[in-house]
Amino acid sequence: MSWTLHEPTLDVDAGLRPTHVKVDLDALADNLGAIQAHLGPQVQIMPVLKANAYGHGLVPVARLMERLGAPCLGLAYLEEGIRLRQAGLSVDMLVMGGILGSQIPLFLEHGLIITASSVDKLTAVEECAAAMGRRARVHLKVDTGMERLGVHWYSAEKLLEAALSLKHVQVEGIFTHLANADAADLSHSRLQLERFEQVLDFYPRHSLPTPLRHAANSGGVLQLPESWYDLVRPGILLFGVYPSPEVQRTIAVRPALEWLSRVVYFKVVEAGSPVSYGSTWAPDRRTRLVTVPVGYGDGYFRAMSDRAQVLLRGRRYPVVGRICMDQVMVDIGWDSAWNGDEVVLVGRRDGQEIGAEELAEWAGTIPYEVLTNINTRVPRVYRCERWPELTEQR
């Protein structure tokens, strides 16, 4: 099994960084296939790759999605799209975040699809496109109950009408975002979809073709077939992690990411001798501790202190004392361990598994934050048996 290093340029095999992430691109391909099989061929998938592809690495994952025929990639920020264009990707990309007027020329220069969430934004796009002699591509954003971005559903008709008169703007899509699609109670999501339907009725009422419609995030893909429309936007589900403990697991996916490190120190600690900053933990018996070079500076949350566990030699052991910026200590009792032994922070070994969901529980957060907070100083290495050229550095 071959693993290839990507940025940052640290050579794991040469011993420069024992803490690293492994990303299985074949698992991502399988997850995309499982989602498509669940949806059927009539619904397109726009993989959402914001926040460094949920910690998995933006450029390598985007290259895989382009190879797999994704019609469009979903991003949060302009700079993500520019980075992918600079890496040579030509696939369509929708930037779903809010925009400033000064950014519009860059959207047009790099061929990125813009989210237009108000008449003023749409007018600014039209004026910039006219001045540059270009045609802008946009998706209209409707707020149906998230109160984040988008025109309210009850005043959306003004935005839709304004779009009809523009000569340098092509409205390719219209979308909303579901606030609670990963919950057990789907009543609010269904209310949002009702509001979205009211907005969409504008097009048949005026005998106009309806743009590409989309609403479903990972929760919607799993639980709300009525939210699928023409296109869905899975994010965390694509990476093999379910968005919440409540969500129905109607699609079988597997994690694509492992977070690993190694033992770098071993010592015997006497009973009552406190460990780490603040002296919050001390053993009640003579014990063996190992030190692992990972910490909150890597995204291994300090909030998991005295709660987290790791896998070492196929067994679970507790992280003890406060998690430091660069190191953690693990109590292995009177078991044995050696410098260089693999430590699994996220992953599966010998029938044991620690998932991002479990780290989220220890940290009092959600798996999204666990994945996206793995710092960029942690090297990512990639495996892809189907298309090994995707792991080549470019």
Active site residues: 50, 277
8 Å CB contact between 4 and 365 = no
Query: In angstroms, how far is the first alpha carbon of the chain from the final one?
Result: 21
Give, in degrees to the nearest 5, the angle at Cα 236 between 232 and 240: 110
For residue 394, how many C-alpha atoms fall within 13 Å in the half-sphere facing its CB?
12
CA distance 220 to 222: 5
* C-alpha dihedral sign at 385, 387, 391, 393: positive
The DSSP call for residue 281 is B
Q: Closest Cα partner for 321 from 305, 310, 334?
A: 305
Which of 297, 344, 295 is closest to 317 using CA atoms?
344
What gap in Å lies between CA 56 and CA 258, rounded to an integer?
10
Tokens of 8: 């940052």
Strand bridging mode 113-116 / 287-292: unpaired
Distance CA(140)–CA(164), nearest Å, equals 12
Task: Please tell me whether residue 251 adopts helix, strand or coil conformation.
Answer: coil
CB 290 within 8 A of CB 370: no
CA-based nearest residue to 57, from 17, 79, 84? 84
String of DSSP letters for 295-361: -GGGT--GGGTTT-EEEETTEEEEEES---SS-EEEE-TT----TT-EEEEEEEETTEEE-HHHHHH
Write phi, then psi, for 343 (nearest 5 degrees). -120, 125
In 3D space, the residue among 379, 349, 374, 340 whose CA is nearest the CA of residue 359 turns out to be 374
Contact 235/50 with Cβ under 8 angstroms? yes
